[in-house]
Amino acid sequence: MFNDAVAARKQAHEQGLPYPTTAVLSKALITEAKRTPERAWLAEVSAAILQQALADADRAYRNFFTSIKGKRAGARMGPPRFKRRTHAQSIRFTRNAKFRVLDNGRLRLPKIGDMRVAWSRELPSAPSSVTVVKTPTGKYYASFVVAVDDGADLLEPLADPEAETGIDLGLKDFAVLRGGKVIENPKFFGKLERKLKKAQRVLARKAKGSVNRAKARIRVAKVHEKIKHTRSDWIDKQVKTLVGENQALYVEDLNVKGLARGRHAKSIHDAAFGMFLVRLESKASRAGRTFVKVDRFFPSTMLCSLCGVSDGPSGVQGLRVRSWMCGCGAVHDRDQNAEINIRREGKRMVAEGRSDTLNASGQDVRPGRPGRPGNPREGQNEEPTRSGAAQAAPEPGIAVL
């Protein structure tokens, strides 16, 4: 249904016709299509999930139009593309579809029936929608959308004024916290990479369309699923611990997309820095903690935390330097020094009221403007870098490791 909607709109665009609305597509692709022998099978499922597929396609086009007009934050979006067949599937039922959670704990879905559910928790309120997901390993999950109180996850403020930390992310250690505390990099993918290679080798030798190939595919999917679930669970536990032990959290705004295109791409994807930062920000916001993103161009690694002189290791070669001596005589551990600088810069941003991370599309994002208070590059006559050019340069993004 999603692909039919994309095809119909592409055809209308090529022929110079107006943009087909969802109501027009619903009549043509659902109501009238059910009467044809080729698409009579559409009547076997609830019309609600077909309508949701059309709504998803329309939302994708709206986001695309908003993006090309410059009204949408973030990177420029392309037009919707056709979805390919995969072994992961999902359907969504809204309240209009009249799904129900029964008193006996079963989930009643239109044209499917009553489903037994192994509940992970009790629903805090009546759900407004449910999405049923089938994973590549053949497991089914039901995800509900519910309304909760704004202050349901608020934590009590910590009395200790020193209960705050900077977070310096890296590959050698996943994170370095205040006082030299280290969170080791678990390397979930690396630990199961040999097992995955073996399963993929067995899959490649099976005949296409055979039963044995289907079994081998599931074995590969199970390895990927274990990596995914183990990583997600570990990140959730780290986020909960950090938010519970600190009143303020200061992190560096890493260019994760840029890092994932470099020579350490596999390790960057395995570490899941983007997932960690998103969940940490969300959890901190709901818990009432202070969360600040320090600008990615702030020289946290090169800056001496004692004298403030920026003469530390830089560039790709500087990644191999784990400790260095400043001209003032101080010897720094690379990551611990970066954590101190990130924490100080975050506290300064809070004091100046600049703790909110805003989208600086088209504006100057480098903090190195001459004459700025507290600027480590003050006095240097360098031209501020535009945001587009800054993101294209790989050196600043790699040096933070």
Give me the active site residues, please. Answer: 168, 252, 335
Angle at 390 between CA 388 and CA 392, to 5 degrees: 75
Angle formed at CA 242 by CA 240 and CA 245, multiple of 5 degrees = 105
Which residue do the tokens 């400043």 mark?
326
106 neighbors 118 (Cβ within 8 angstroms): no
DSSP string, 15-68: TTPPPPPHHHHHIIIIITGGGSGGGGGGGGS-HHHHHHHHHHHHHHHHHHHHHH
- The two three-digit tokens of residue 387, written as one number: 């945001």
Nearest 5 degrees, angle CA 52-CA 28-CA 128?
15
In a 3-state reduction of DSSP, which class is residue 385? coil
Q: State how beta strands 290-294 and 248-252 pair.
A: parallel
Distance, CA of 181 to CA of 173 (rounded, Å): 10
Q: What Rg value do the Cα atoms of the chain yield, rounded?
A: 26
Q: What are phi and psi of 325, to 5 degrees?
A: -110, 130
Residue type, 129: S
Amino acid at 301: T
